[in-house]
A and B are shown apart, each in its own frame.
Chain A
Amino acid sequence: MNISLSITKNIHEWLFSIMPEGIASITEMVLIAVVYLAIFAVAGLYLVLLERKVAAWFQLRIGPNRVGWWGLLQTMADALKLVSKELTGTERADKFLYNLAPYFVIVSSLMALAVFPFSQEFHAFDINIGVLFLMAISSIGVIGILLGGWSSNNKFALIGAMRSGVQTISYELSVGLSLLTMVLVTGSLQLSEIIEVQKNGWLIVQGHIPAVIAFMIYMIAGTAETNRAPFDLVEAESELGAGFHTEYSGMKFAYFFLAEFINMFIIAAIAATIFFGGWLSPFGITESIPLLGVVWFLGKTLVIVFLMMWFRWTFPRLRIDQLLTLEWKYLLPLNLLNLILMALVVWLNLTIQF
């Protein structure tokens, strides 16, 4: 029936036939983890390339085009360079925390990827609190940034880390509340069920006005959570040099860098799943070919990723007090009102269903 499904099924059955059950399931988990890690390390690298290309289009440039056709191997070469670089550090830094920090960041962003339904079958980890898991896991990353900035023994890094703490904690509220608004419609935190509900129309259509408001708030807060422009105060180049990762080099820097792009992918993927129907095709036009679900999902995600890149290359940066004013004085009250509005819409059965 389905090629991808049958391959995974065959591997599953083969593993269980040659090993005892316990070892087989552990082996299977490890295999899946390795495949995921490999896919997303490469995906992160190609997002970097995409960002550079998009930036170039905005800025009347060509972008990387020397290494490989259309620059396709550029980020691979950059990653190789970063791996081979010496890991430097500052004197009197807190070595343990300093070395630990990048792992917090990269692990949290890679873990969040586990729960995404890429298509009907391509879904590694379908837990019934999927949305909560995403929120919880993605907030671990900020600990890594705080630790990295604090332990570097560099004042610029420290200011960057403090800004990051303030910013991420504030904007997580908005991300959470805007997702909660949508959960009111679905009545479930499980991502596969959220998509099931959307077979009657994507949530942004079902929830109409409050859903559009929630999506806009989510995009603003999501961009802020990934520390990207116009909210890139954490690594504000013209103010703090490189911000919290000033003192990191080589692979440890690459972890921070890669995590930023994977986080961007995650934020976009959540938006695609919750607001735009995940792997569902519009009006079910390709429902008969389940494999295309991955294409739809990635397509929607990349459109939102492009939107975030568009923000970055056009907007100037906010100041720290303006950033907090925006969240606590505008977004949060609006979000709470929107939650009530959505509750009313759901209660009065005003959602649009096809």
Chain B
Amino acid sequence: METTTITNNFKSEEYFINMGPQHPATHGVLRLLLTIDGEIIKKVEPDLGYIHRSIEKMCERDSYQQIVHLTDRMDYLSSHINNEAVCLAVENALEIDIPERVKVIRTIIGELTRIASHTLWWGVMGMDVGALTTYFLGFRDRELINDIFEETCGARLTMNYNIPGGLMYDIHPNFIKRVKDFIAHFKTKLPEYDKLLTGNVIFQKRMKGVGILTKEDAISFGASGPVGRGSGYSCDVRKHHAYSALDKVNFKEALRTEGDSLARYEVRVQEMWESMSIIEQLIDNIPEGDYKVATNAVIKLPKGEFYQKVEAARGELGVYIVSTGTKNPYRLKFRSPGFSNLSLLNHIAVGGKIGDLVASMATLDIVVPDIDR
């Protein structure tokens, strides 16, 4: 009896912390409602909506050409891939044949986007676990890709290079040379990433065995992209439902079975190597031809439902269009990878420390506008 009173007196109290919407680790305006016991996380509740712009509703108002430009603002780090998803959905619905040249260019730029996104993620990942130098190394290489985009697409972040039926304009004459230069440069720089961060003892200790997600959980939470593949769930859309020119290239799907933070990290680093190999296979074989096919000025999709999925930098991006045969979609739904991936944050972070939460969240690679839309 005596002992129970004493233990009750010293019972630690759970308390509540608001992490965000303004917080360095939440990468934007994500708000996490944390219930904490000392340093140990008891519950994580993401609270969304701080950057909700009702993009899906706006899509119902806009024509299909206009919708493409809205998608840039979802996952801004893989804007080209978002554009491509809508374009592919519309093109498939219209049953247009797209020139081979367009497919190859789309794939090359898509993979460059993936590398750009992953380098930024790598920099921020290092910053989240306290190694500030990674941020600048990641940005150094991302800037080079942005320069390539600037020359060819006219923009560095929100590219708007795709249109239904092809591309906005042809590639810049320098494009092939600059991409080759970049690949040569990045092949020497990517091992630097491993030297600085991956091999570090502290980093390994922080990542190994932390934030474990089993394959079953990954599937039931709808995880996709590097998060799913880190748990051994083969979910690469590029492999299983190849689109554009991806059926012509050889690449390995990055897969790890450990399911911890380190596995998700390694998957992304390996993906950068694979993306480089895809670009190398395609860059010398860009076929001649038109960079777009003529479409009607007013695109009207046939009546019905259309779904197209692509592998964005963060996972599977789905575009689901319900058309009633008019120039606007009746309903347009984006299946964004970030939303499903965020939903498992509570599952992997509970029981860990605050530091683990931040590290696990970094390996989920959250982009808040992608989650909120």
Within 8 A of B (CB), among A127-159: 155-156, 159
Q: Which residues of B contact A61 (CB under 8 A)?
A: 136
Please report the C-alpha to C-alpha distance between residue A51 and residue B129 in the assembled complex, in whole angstroms.
20
B137, B205, B358: which contacts A322 (Cβ < 8 A)? B205
* Residue A125 lies at the interface, judged by CB distance under 8 Å to chain B: no
Known A156-B17, A230-B202, A237-B24; contact A316-B39, beta-carbon cutoff 8 A: no
* Residue B70 lies at the interface, judged by CB distance under 8 Å to chain A: no
Please report the C-alpha to C-alpha distance between residue A229 and residue B130 in the assembled complex, in whole angstroms.
7
The number of chain A residues touching the other chain, given as a range, is 20 to 34
| CB atoms of B355 and A236 under 8 A apart | yes
| CB atoms of A239 and B131 under 8 A apart | no
Known A319-B206, A320-B355, A321-B353; contact A314-B131, beta-carbon cutoff 8 A: yes
Judged by DSSP, the binding face of B is helix
| CB atoms of A317 and B17 under 8 A apart | no
* Residue A313 lies at the interface, judged by CB distance under 8 Å to chain B: yes
Within 8 A of A (CB), among B202-228: 202-203, 205-206
A155, A238, A241, A321: which contacts B130 (Cβ < 8 A)? A238
Q: Which residues of A contact B17 (CB under 8 A)?
A: 155-156
Q: Which residues of B contact A225 (CB under 8 A)?
A: none
The tally of residues in B whose CB lies under 8 Å from a CB in A reads 30
Flag A263-304 by CB within 8 Å of B: 1 or 0 each.
000000000000000000000000000000000000000000
A59, A239, A240: which contacts B133 (Cβ < 8 A)? A59
* Residue B25 lies at the interface, judged by CB distance under 8 Å to chain A: yes
CB-based nearest B residue for A59: B136
B24, B137, B196, B356: which contacts A238 (Cβ < 8 A)? B24
A-B contact count (CB 8 A): 80
* Residue A232 lies at the interface, judged by CB distance under 8 Å to chain B: yes
| CB atoms of B355 and A319 under 8 A apart | yes
Flag B36-47 by CB within 8 Å of A: 1 or 0 each.
000100000000
* Residue A70 lies at the interface, judged by CB distance under 8 Å to chain B: no
Please report the C-alpha to C-alpha distance between residue A67 and residue B345 in the assembled complex, in whole angstroms.
45
* Residue B140 lies at the interface, judged by CB distance under 8 Å to chain A: yes
* Residue B128 lies at the interface, judged by CB distance under 8 Å to chain A: yes
State the A residues within 8 Å of B (CB): 55, 58-61, 155-156, 159, 229-230, 232-233, 236-241, 313-322
Identify the 9 closest CB pairs spanning chains A and B, nearest first.
Answer: A317-B130, A59-B136, A316-B131, A316-B129, A319-B355, A238-B25, A238-B128, A316-B130, A316-B203
State the B residues within 8 Å of A (CB): 15, 17, 23-25, 39, 126-133, 135-137, 140, 196-197, 200, 202-203, 205-206, 353-356, 358
Known: A229-B132, A313-B133, A314-B133. 15 other contacts (CB 8 A): A59-B132, A59-B133, A60-B137, A230-B130, A230-B202, A239-B354, A240-B354, A315-B200, A316-B126, A319-B206, A319-B353, A319-B356, A320-B353, A321-B39, A322-B205
